[in-house]
Structure 1
Amino acid sequence: MRKGEADVLVGALGAACVAVVCLTVALVRTRRRWRAAVGERGWLLERERESAARAAIAAERDRIARELHDIVSHNVSLMVVQAGAAREVLGTMPEEATAALRAVEEAGRGTMTELRHLLGVLAPSQDGADTDPGPVEAAADLAPQPGMDRLGALVDRISFAGLPVEVRVSGEPRPLPGGVSVTAYRIVQEALTNALRHGDGGKAEVTVRYTEHALRVEVLNTGPSVLTGNAPPRPARPSHEGTGRGLLGLRERVAVYGGDLDARRRLGGGYRVRARIPLDRP
């Protein structure tokens, strides 16, 4: 082989080695960047999962707080009113006092049943074993949340506690989605409970309208007029009112279904709560 040909061959081999080294370095660098990108993506996914978990926990805490408020506020208000009525007529009308105390007992039992159901879901037995409740306790624990099918019982309790309630239903009643039914019931319950607790011997009207695309609920209660100056002074609002309780919490519930809720004092006296909950939202 001539010297010129040998030099060409050596040069070609040298160039090939340099190319191999360059490709190897590029491959190593690409692999490192790929591993870094995969690691960063995994870190981002983990952060997203943690954020989603925190949001779910916060939402569940809010839901539980609203349920506890609805259960305790309504039933305890009834118990306070009935206990006060029993105390006033205990010496003169023992039969009426007995009926009022019986209502207190029933409200207390109802509260314990609902709380047992809620807390049983939150805190199962520590040993992980299922308890064996009796038929009454089992039926209570498995009972669904109250819906519009229990509106009559709610109105009866409020009326017996001293607030006359008139119910009007318009449109064609039909089965409602579970969440919508519970939300509508809680709206009526909260409005009537507030009217009973803060009312001044008035009455309340509940109107339920079934339209083609929405359920409309309105609760009106009478009271002193703000126009005549007979309305009692309003107590100062607590600083924590905006924490999602009562009607503020119900407004959030309604918003989940794309609806709206309005609650305000009436110029003619009393209070009005009005809600619209869409029924055709997917």
Structure 2
Amino acid sequence: MGEYDVMTTALAVACTAVLGLTAALVRTRRRWRTAIGERGWLLERERESATEAAVAAERDRIARELHDIVSHNVSLMVVQASAAREVLGTMPDEAATALRAVEDAGRGAMTDLRHLLGLLAPAQDGTDTGPAPDADRASTPLAPQPGLDRLGPLVDRISFAGLPVEVRVSGDPRPLPQGIDVTAYRIIQEALTNALRHGDGGKAEVSVRYADHALRVEIVDTGPSVFTGSGPAAPRPAADGTGRGLLGLRERVAVYGGDLDARRRLGGGFRVRARIPLDRP
């Protein structure tokens, strides 16, 4: 084989190698583009799923807040209106006091709802756009979520409505994370509201314990024994605490790694007990 043939063969081999590398490069680039496209699609799907989950969580939160606001205030209004009706002809002063309590509960519900709606659809300048119940409340700024610092007014409202409440606080009270603070308040509010709605002139006890690593809350109310079957016609929550309000509270507590137990007491009444960890990362 001559020198010319050797050079021709080498050139052919080089051209073949270049063509092979070019083809491999094209295939690699095509696969890279396909992978990038698939990754972008997956990222878009993940963003959509995250958005849907956030929307669902926000709807659940709003539903729980609306339940807490409406259930508590409407229950107070019904109890006070019933009391006013019973004494309207014989004790007009007491009836007027009960009707003022109905008015206050209604105004409180309107204010809470206005604040909640204001958070859902605030004005461009960040102010509350919801309708104010009166001129004095029109300039009221958005109030923070209630916490255990509002326990006193809550107990006063429940007691005034006809359910005596005793509060016991143990441990070393200290500032709590906002979510836990709101959750503890809502647990007590729901339990006392149920006791007021379904009670028969008994009383309730609220215990708040600040432990080293957890917050413990317990609400116990008196009522008819499960053995007698006596008591008011209005049904109490299910024995295992499966009412809508209690289910919402159980979900609230679960968010912070805690647990909630709600059940009838054999000796009568109902008990709600919750434990919320304070040192969860």
Q: Do the aligned partners of residues 61 and 82 (structure 1) sit closer, same or farther apart at CA in structure 2, a change above 3 Å counting? A: same
Q: Indicate whether 1:105 and 2:73 are aligned.
A: no
Asked if 1 retains the 8 angstrom alpha-carbon contact of 2:200 and 2:231, the reply is no
* 1:18 alignment partner in structure 2: 16
* 1:79 alignment partner in structure 2: 77
CA distance in 2, matches of 1:236, 1:247: 12
* 1:67 alignment partner in structure 2: 65
Deviations 1:156-176 (CA, angstroms, capped at 9, x unpaired): 000110111111111121121
* 1:9 alignment partner in structure 2: 7
Runs of 4+ residues over 4 Å off in structure 1: 128-136, 231-238
More deviation in 3-12 or 97-106?
3-12
Which amino acid in the other structure matches residue 18 of structure 2? V
Shift of 1:235: 4.8
* 1:58 alignment partner in structure 2: 56
CA distance in 1, matches of 2:280, 2:6: 78
Which amino acid in the other structure matches residue 51 of structure 2? A
Which amino acid in the other structure matches residue 168 of structure 1? R
For structure 1, list consecutive stretches of 5 or more residues without a partner in the other structure. Answer: none
* 1:170 alignment partner in structure 2: 170
Shift of 1:143: 1.3
* 2:247 alignment partner in structure 1: 248
Asked if 1 retains the 8 angstrom alpha-carbon contact of 2:202 and 2:221, the reply is yes
Q: Do the aligned partners of residues 132 and 124 (structure 1) sit closer, same or farther apart at CA in structure 2, a change above 3 Å counting? A: closer
Alignment of 1:215-254 (within 5 A): 215-230=215-230, 235=235, 245-254=244-253
CA distance in 1, matches of 2:237, 2:192: 20
CA distance in 1, matches of 2:237, 2:81: 27
Q: Do the aligned partners of residues 130 and 279 (structure 1) sit closer, same or farther apart at CA in structure 2, a change above 3 Å counting? A: closer
For structure 2, list consecutive stretches of 5 or more residues without a partner in the other structure. Answer: 130-134
Higher relative contact order (CA 8 A, sep 6+): 1
* 2:132 alignment partner in structure 1: none
* 1:197 alignment partner in structure 2: 197
* 1:153 alignment partner in structure 2: 153
Asked if 2 retains the 8 angstrom alpha-carbon contact of 1:266 and 1:272, the reply is yes
Asked if 1 retains the 8 angstrom alpha-carbon contact of 2:155 and 2:165, the reply is yes
Q: Do the aligned partners of residues 259 and 98 (structure 1) sit closer, same or farther apart at CA in structure 2, a change above 3 Å counting? A: same
TM-score by length of 2: 0.91
CA distance in 1, matches of 2:236, 2:166: 31
* 2:185 alignment partner in structure 1: 185
Asked if 2 retains the 8 angstrom alpha-carbon contact of 1:218 and 1:272, the reply is yes
Shift of 1:229: 3.9
Asked if 1 retains the 8 angstrom alpha-carbon contact of 2:213 and 2:278, the reply is yes
CA distance in 2, matches of 1:236, 1:105: 27
Instruction: Give identity over the alignment, percent.
Output: 78
Q: Do the aligned partners of residues 40 and 129 (structure 1) sit closer, same or farther apart at CA in structure 2, a change above 3 Å counting? A: same
- State how many pairs are aligned: 274
TM-score by length of 1: 0.91
Q: Do the aligned partners of residues 261 and 84 (structure 1) sit closer, same or farther apart at CA in structure 2, a change above 3 Å counting? A: same
CA RMSD of aligned residues (A): 2.2
* 2:278 alignment partner in structure 1: 279
